[in-house]
Amino acid sequence: MKSRAAIAYEAGKPLVVEPIEVGAPGAGQVLIENRAAGLCHTDLSLIDSGYRGFPIIVGHEGVGVVLQCGPGVTSVKPGDHVVTSSIPECGTCPRCVSRRSNLCVKEDVTKFHPDGSPPSPHLRRLGGSPVRVLCQGATFSNHAVADEDLVAPIPAEIPLHVASVLSCAVITGMGAALFSADVQQGSTVVVFGLGGVGLNVLDGARLAGATRIIGVDTNPSKVEVARRFGLTDFIDARRGGSEILAAVQAMTAGGADYSFECVGDSKVAELAVEASHPNWGKTVLVGSPSGPEPMHLPIRSFMLGRSVVGSLLGDAKPRTDMARIAQWYVEGKLATDHLISHRLPFAAINDGFDLMRRGESIRAIVEY
């Protein structure tokens, strides 16, 4: 069938909205009509750096409706509202049944390597030339075909524009707090970067019962919305490293129990570790720098008991944990409604990225 997609062709250049051809779903696959997509900073990093190669459809956060199921699909049916994840959950492999990892053995980790995103077997430019996708759900395409393992049904009562941010910002931030860090009741938390992901770390920490939730950002205009997600204290990141550390230490009796890097910057990551409590502080690295720059820290920073973990999609299971998180939204426990600052028509997708570049959006979404 014919559809249309926003394709990145060249580093730092606007996406081109153009017609594409979408193949039929095979066995175990689902044809989805994407309805809305959130713009994540990872999309912008890949557009600007070209890290995964061109031409590429980078959208990986969004919501759609199932149009057609291939043979053997049992967990969704036409008409269901679904979000697609960038990683699968088969539900039966040793990793899917364990809480130690959310990287199902079916995940092809080579796709995370430079230039590693493969051409899509289902989406082609007119004339038949291939286009890469960051994930099969390709939310910057009006239609996509995805393996059933990647597709999570969500309650139809969640407004589609709100659901559009569940599959990356919400699950990543919420999961980083609840699963990667396992924030405990009464604890102290510091979050560097109050964007789409960082705000959801706040929301997760609030749900977990953290009592002091400190946000650090270069943009003080984020404070008002961050309060809705549980922020108790704000530190202006422009004050510089030693002042930020002193402020966090003063607010937390020596360092935060949990520290989160949600910017994607190695210097901020170093600061996040130093802001954690020297004896038991745990730092979760959520931001993904687009370049290979290393983090430099003295080994003695860890001698007294600090730890650092990386976190992909918040260590959340993209189907079973998504079902839980969607249910929390329905029960009114989440602040997700406040995340969406701009609703744009799909054709205006480049305006959404310009808003992100200028730091003027919380989460911009596009609607088909």
Can you say whether residue 343 is alpha, beta or left, with left for phi > 0 and alpha for psi between -120 and 50 degrees? beta
Q: In the complex, which residues of this chain contact Zn ion (CB under 5 A)?
A: 40, 42, 90, 93, 96, 104, 168
Q: For residue 300, how many other CB atoms are within 10 A of its CB?
A: 8
One-letter identity of residue 238: R
**Cα distance between residue 36 and residue 180, in whole Å:** 28
- What's the distance, CA 296 to chain centroid? 25
DSSP letters, 141-172, are BSEEEEEGGGEEE--TTS-HHHHTTIIIIIHH
* SS3 call for 67: strand
Under the binding rule (CB under 6 A), the answer on residue 180 touching ligand NAD is no
User: Which x/- pattern, by CB under 6 A, does the window 65-104 give for ligand NAD?
Assistant: ----------------------------------------
User: Which x/- pattern, by CB under 6 A, does the window 323-362 give for ligand NAD?
Assistant: ---------------------------------x--x---
Under the binding rule (CB under 6 A), the answer on residue 308 touching ligand NAD is no
One-letter identity of residue 320: T
| Cβ atoms of residues 249 and 230 within 8 Å | no
**Shortest Å distance, C-beta 89 to Zn ion:** 6
Which does residue 288 bind out of Zn ion, ligand NAD, none, counting CB within 5 to 8 angstroms by kind? ligand NAD
**Shortest Å distance, C-beta 290 to ligand NAD:** 8
Q: Which residue number, 64 or 173, has a Cβ lying nearer to ligand NAD?
A: 173
**Cα distance between residue 259 and residue 193, in whole Å:** 11
**Cα distance between residue 255 and residue 263, in whole Å:** 20
* SS3 call for 1: coil
Among 62, 88, 196, 255, binds ligand NAD (CB under 6 A): 196
**Shortest Å distance, C-beta 222 to ligand NAD:** 5
Count Cβ atoms within 10 A of the Cβ of residue 83 and give its class: 0-12 exposed, 13-18 middle, 19 or more buried: buried
**Shortest Å distance, C-beta 199 to ligand NAD:** 8
| Residues between 233 and 262 that touch ligand NAD (CB under 6 A) | 237, 262
Which does residue 38 bind out of ligand NAD, Zn ion, none, counting CB within 5 to 8 angstroms by kind? none
Under the binding rule (CB under 6 A), the answer on residue 137 touching ligand NAD is no
**Shortest Å distance, C-beta 167 to ligand NAD:** 10
Binding site for ligand NAD (CB under 6 A): 40-42, 45, 168, 172, 192-198, 216-219, 222, 237, 262-265, 268, 286-288, 311-313, 356, 359
